[in-house]
Structure 1
Amino acid sequence: MLCSSYGGFLFGQEKAIDTIYIFDSQMNKAKLFHPVRTISPRDIEKNSTNLSELLRFQPSIYIKENGRGAVSSPSFRGTTAQQTAFVWNGININSSFLGQGDVNNIPLFGYDQIGIKAGGGSVVYGSGAIGGSIHLNNILDFNKGFKGSVYSEAASFDTYNNFAQASFSNEKLSVKVSGSYFTSQNDYKVPEFVVGSTGYSNINGKYYNTSVNIGVSYKIVPQQTISWQNQIFDASQHYPIFEQNGNKTKYNAQTLRSLISWDIQKANLSNSLKAAYTEDNFQYFSDLNLPKTSGAEGKNYIFKNDFNYFITPKININVIGEFQVNKGEGYQSGIGVISRNVGSLAGLVRYFATDQLRFEAGIKKDFVEGISSPLLYSFSGKWNAVPWYHAGINFSRNFRFPSFNDLYWQPGGNLNLLPETSTNIDMDHEFMFGDFKITLSPYYMDIKNLINWLPTPNGYWAPFNTSRAESYGLESQITWSKDFGKHHFKFDTGYTYSKSINKNTQMQMIYVPIHKAVGNVEYGYSFLKIYAQGLFNGLTYTTTDEKRATAIDPYFLLNTGISASLFKKYTLGFKVNNITNTVYQTVSYYPMPKRNYSVYATINF
């Protein structure tokens, strides 16, 4: 979308406003200074089990999953799940209770693109954007007429996955509706993984989820658009047990997200006013046949305004104001009816010195009821030194304020907690050699006031600001794509080196693999496509003392698949996951499936 004039992201977007509407208006600006890895709907078909499986094959993210489809959490660059921000169409959707996103209780389908951004981003995206952020974005097209698609998949372990989408647009109105339904008995077995005296069986591991997405955008006048995006999600997860006669439990979750946006787009000015309502409810059942044991209801009212103005063709100012009311009520958790007001004001200045050199500086102050929040800042620069080498640098201060559980859970909640803060610095070196692109990104983070839950003398656990950590390492990526007539080749690989050290003990933080590598190779000829996908995960400690006996051993996964497109409307595909039959786990005691299969079909009309 960039054009040759300074600040081209705004002018380029204004030129294309008759074509698409993007709900997260900050993403185009972020891409001017930060590498953002974009996952398309076609990429999702390779890892369609759940969002955890998709993110697992991204080089900068580690996924902890308590068995396939169960509780799952992400982490960037050796940080924690609470230091990862999930952003839905520009709105931070981390749970007010947990302070994180439960990956397997977020729909996989229904987005037009998923963005992966490593590094701090609290100035724009708020609490939790310390290690990185995951962006779930919807796009509405104009002047595209009617389009639709249906995706259906059947897989091992009585797994069925269905997704349908339809859209219509003319020059003033755009409507898109989609829905998904996923169900799995998830009864896989891993005989080599011994639990007690027998091999592992994923007993009581079934789960299902349903989601509905509705998006509407209407042009009031050519430069003003009113848009609405809505998502409804309902899910149930049965938690695995180790014995057939064990106590069977489950967890139900319901989510509602609704966002209205009024956007003004002119040649040198834009403004996006958003009003959002999000609701997260969950219930835990300690016995499938009894009423719920515990639960919570969370409701968030969010108002956000993003004002963008070019003072001159080289100087751009961006002011972002946000106000939230976070409400919650717990059930059998000691948490009563609670409410918290959160406000913030951020300002950014971008200077486009030349077509090859640009800078961005930002500052932000959050106002969190009952909590003293630090002043946040960021600085980024991008220099396209020569056609084959581009360099970037990013420096920022980021934070996470305590969650409802951290503050109010009884017994144990601690009202004296301080926010976690971090100082981040990273560099990006991009080398282009013909069709090859190589990216090297060293980084360093210093994190203070880490919140950890620890046992107390009174017999219960409580959160404390206990330690300080530093995380440093290197992210790298190589991409190559080439067409030879009807032959298409694509190669994409990434490697991450992560050291995350508790400064009190000088030990590696738990569930942070020092080495991780992923790779993807595709070959296409005419209507046929074949791919292979690999993942290497290095030694991963599960205790704070780096005990080797309890660490997760290194493992390598290999997936492969083939698909054929017929008459440009129909696609048939077959996939084999974990083709090498590797026994592996991402969380201790919960092995993942061995070799498994799926067949799928897509119809476009």
Structure 2
Amino acid sequence: MNIKRSLVLFLSSYGCFLFGQEKAVDTIYIFDSQMNKVKQFHPVQTIHTEDAEKNSNNLSELLRFQSSIYIKENGRGAVSSPSFRGTTAQQTAFVWNGININSNFLGQGDVNNIALFGYDQIGIKAGGGSVTYGSGAIGGSIHMDNSLSFNKGFHGTLFSEAGSFNTYNNFVKGSYSNDKFSFKVSGNYSVSENEYEVNKNPKNYINRNGEYYNTNFNVAAAYKLAPNHQVSWISEWFNGQQHFPILFESETKTKYQTQNVRSLISWDWNTTKFNNSFKAAYTEENFEYFNDIDRPKFSGGTGKNYILKNDFNYFLNSKWNFNIIGEYQHNKGEGYGSGIDKVHRNMGSVVGLVRYFPTSDLRLEAGIRQDYVGVTKSPLLFSFSGKWNALHWYNLGLSISRNFRAPSFNDLYWRPGGNENLKPETSYQFEVRNQFKTGDFKLSLVPYYMDIRDMIRWLQTPFGYPSPVNTDHVRSYGVETQAEFTKRFGKHFLNVGLGYTYTNSQDLEKKKQLMYVPFHKFNGNIGYQYEFIKVYAQGLFTGLTYTDSNEKESEALKEYFVMNAGVGATFLKNYTLGFKINNIFNQTYYTMFAYPLPGRNYSVNLNINF
């Protein structure tokens, strides 16, 4: 949200619009103009850079240990995909500064081909959000957000880490701002030989051909043209390479390369009665697959998106707010080795949201959305959310929504097999949020129910090749719980976070749990600080996880418990030296059949602030 010399302040603690005297305040500009509005009605877990440094190898590791998401990873640093509330990777939306960046071809995001560093915060929102963030936001959404501050002068950060398996992570960031201009630049480089050995029967596993590297560069700037007008720009460049692990020495080594570009320009206009954010964005994905690392590429593709988006907010009074969002996209794709020639489609959407604040303790929001997605007929979407601070120690939330996923380019145009007559996947979702607070202790209990229809599956045809069809009807229900305790006493600070999720996600035709959806997941994070010393511990328990659609226990992933710990010491005010142990008990564990993750491993890091 852009907080300016304005009479209107959107206050998350009260969920209403308050009018006061004109006051000069430092601006914090967040590129995702909807995120602070979303937080008014839905819990969003926020992970800042300091927390990201605890799981600094990749985004998969971070989400596995610090969220309720199940991450399926084909070996450390390899292909990785998320599962929110028992849904698939295609039903998770990755959102970069308010722009959906799921692949045009696959309809999903590869977690390990999205940078971990370079964002000011990573937001995790469970539950449907298609009304706001479009296709794919069925199970949940993962938000990579950047912000710019004014009147802060110069600041810089350097984080450098060396770890087991010849792993090196380096991140540098610098920023400068005065009362009218703000600038920020950052760069990240991660590389690992990644050849680890895991003790298992009947023979030890060696992660052969598992090396990877990636680089990421971000630059952002904002300028205040006038008290009510601001222009801003942000761009990101990502380049990565993954070698895919082989199980036997005799196998042919393969690899995957990807290059992504994202750029966004925004003009924001704020007055007493309204604010408007107009954005123009360009995103591009390039990828190449090599079925033999010593030969030319075997397949690949290039996808380009041209995006225009306008977000208009009107404040009728302190109780009513009207929000209209319009978006247009032109998507282009060109495949290599996939039968996809040059394809394109036009996409558009119109969103209407109404927010009502009858009292300071009650807030309500209703929204509708209509998408226009090329040859695909899209459903009318809706959402309703409410939050009631019923008692000083208890508040109740409610959310009902209809969400969707449009078929991807691969679904529609892969040759042979693409199906241009596919319907979009749709879902209905209902959840109740119960939040309790007493002193320094918070507890949330969120039961949910989801009904997903027309899930797209690739099935074998009589012609000898697979083709996508709308077949599955999936019902998913469960509960998410989160407990938090924070306490500061003198020079001591203690923070405890514990989470548990139960997920029952079944194909209603087979009445079997979906593959790679564990029934139970527990994660915990504990941190303690005394003066210049910080220590933390992380625990992760994942229950039995089926790897096929028939609940075959002989091929299921066994339950496991993994624990990490770290310590950091700050000296000379701006220097912090840290040491981490991952998988302390040397547990053998899998998130993907046949590809175990590393045993006990170590790293040391240095963080400098200047």
> Could you state the TM-score of these two structures normalised by the residue count of structure 2?
0.97
Aligned counterpart for 2:119 among listed residues 111, 114, 130: 111
Match of 1:134 in 2: 142
The reply on whether 1:589 has 2:594 as its aligned counterpart is: yes
Distance 2:569 2:161 in 1: 15
1:137 is displaced (CA, Å) by: 0.2
After TM superposition, the structure 1 = structure 2 runs for residues 259-298 of structure 1, keeping only pairs within 5 Å, are 259-298=264-303
Contact 1:7 1:313 in 2 (8 A): no
The equivalences for 1:28-177 within 5 A come to 28-177=36-185
Shift of 1:244: 2.0
Question: 2-side partners of 1:162 and 1:563: how far apart?
Answer: 17
Aligned to 2:247: 242
Task: State the partner residue of 2:208.
Answer: 203
Q: Report whether the alignment pairs 1:542 with 2:547.
A: yes
Q: 2:25 & 2:248 partners in 1: Cα distance? A: 58
The alpha-carbon distance between structure 1 residues 514 and 307, as it changes in their structure 2 partners (threshold 3 A), is same
Question: Contact conserved, 1:59 with 1:516, CA < 8 A, in 2?
Answer: no
Q: Is the 8 A contact 2:12 2:39 kept in 1?
A: no
Q: What is the 5 A alignment of 1:109-508?
A: 109-194=117-202, 198-508=203-513
What is the deviation of 1:465?
0.5
Q: Which residue of 1 aligns with 2:4?
A: none
**Structure 1's 389 and 370: CA in aligned 2 closer, same or farther, altered over 3 A?**
same
| 1:512 paired residue number | 517
Conserved 8 A contact 1:142-1:169:
yes
Aligned to 2:537: 532
1:58, distance to aligned residue in structure 2 (A): 3.3
2: CA distance between counterparts of 1:442 and 1:265? 38
Q: Distance in 1 between matches of 2:146 and 2:137?
A: 20
Q: Which amino acid aligns with 1:400?
A: R
1:523 aligns to what? 528
Task: Evaluate the alpha carbon distance shift between residue 411 and residue 433 of structure 1 in structure 2; reply closer, same or farther with a 3 A threshold.
Answer: same
The C-alpha deviation readout for 1:42-68, integer Å capped at 9, x for no partner, is 000110010000011134201000000
Tell me the distance in 2 between the aligned counterparts of 1:124 and 1:44.
26
Report if the CA contact (8 A) 2:16-2:360 is conserved.
no
Tell me which moved more, 97-106 or 453-462: 453-462
Structure 1: distance between partners of 2:572 and 2:39? 36
Q: Do the aligned residues in 1 keep the contact of 2:14 with 2:361 (CA within 8 Å)?
A: no
C-alpha offsets along residues 548-584 of structure 1, whole Å, 9 cap, x if unaligned?
Answer: 1001000001000000111220000000000010000
Query: Percent of pairs identical after alignment?
Result: 62
TM superposition shift of 1:2? 5.2
User: 1:62·1:512 contact (CA, 8 Å) conserved in 2?
Assistant: yes
Cα distance change, pair 418–542 in 1 and its aligned pair in 2 (3 A): same
Maintained 8 Å contact 2:478/2:504: yes
Change (3 A) 1:584 1:380: same
Q: Provide the rounded CA distance (Å) in 2 between the counterparts of 1:246 and 1:447.
A: 39
Q: 1:358 to 1:187 in 2, by over 3 A?
A: same
Contact 1:7 1:314 in 2 (8 A): no
User: Once the two structures are superposed, what CA deviation does each residue of 1:449-496 show, in whole Å capped at 9, x if it has no partner?
Assistant: 000111122221111101100100000000000011001111001000
Does structure 1 retain, via aligned residues, the 8 Å contact 2:231–2:265?
Answer: yes
Q: Alignment partner of 1:586: what SS?
A: coil
Q: Closer, same or farther in 2 for the Cα pair 1:379/1:154, shift >3 Å?
A: same
- 1: distance between equivalents of 2:13 and 2:46? 25
Is the contact made by 1:22 and 1:139 (CA closer than 8 Å) also made in structure 2?
Answer: yes
Q: Which whole-Å CA distance do the structure 1 matches of 2:557 and 2:568 have between them? A: 34
- State the partner residue of 1:567: 572
Distance 1:193 1:430, change over 3 A: same
Following the alignment from structure 2 to structure 1, what is the Cα–Cα distance between the partners of residues 562 and 59? 17
Contact 1:148 1:604 in 2 (8 A): yes
The one-letter code sitting in structure 2 at the alignment partner of 1:20 is: I
Q: Which amino acid aligns with 1:579?
A: I
Aligned to 2:585: 580
For 1:259 and 1:147, the matched residues in 2 are separated by: 23
Quick one: structure 1 residues 191 and 11, their matched pair in 2 at CA, closer, same or farther if it must change by over 3 Å?
farther
Asked if 2 retains the 8 angstrom alpha-carbon contact of 1:248 and 1:286, the reply is yes
Preserved contact between residue 15 and residue 363 of structure 2 (Cα < 8 Å):
no
TM-score by length of 1: 0.98
Q: CA deviation at 1:7?
A: 5.5
Once the two structures are TM-superposed, the CA of residue 267 in structure 1 deviates from its matched residue by: 2.2
* 1:60 maps to amino acid: S
Rate the CA distance shift 1:211–1:5 in 2: closer, same or farther, 3 A: closer
Q: Retained in 2: the 8 A contact 1:344–1:365?
A: yes
For residues 358 and 570 of structure 1, the distance between their equivalents in structure 2, rounded to whole angstroms, comes to 44
CA contact (8 A) 2:288 2:299 kept: yes
SS at structure 1 position matched to 2:454 = strand
Give the direction of change, closer, same or farther, for the CA distance of 1:285–1:16 in structure 2 (3 Å limit): farther
Equivalent residue pairs, number? 601
Q: Deviations over 1:277-325 (max 9, x none)?
A: 0000000011111110000000000100000011121000000000000
Change (3 A) 1:16 1:346: farther
**Conserved 8 A contact 2:17-2:318:** no
Distance 1:268 1:406, change over 3 A: same
Contact 1:516 1:537 (C-alpha < 8 Å) held by counterparts = yes
Distance 1:347 1:488 in 2: 44
- Amino acid of the residue matched to residue 392 of structure 1? G
Q: Distance in 2 between matches of 1:7 and 1:596?
A: 45
Cα distance in structure 2, aligned partners of 1:283 and 1:193: 35
Query: Relative to structure 1, is the Cα distance of residues 301 and 530 closer, same or farther in structure 2, using a 3 angstrom cutoff?
Result: same
Q: Which range moves more in the overlay, 45-54 or 56-65?
A: 56-65
Q: CA separation in 2, counterparts of 1:240 and 1:7?
A: 50
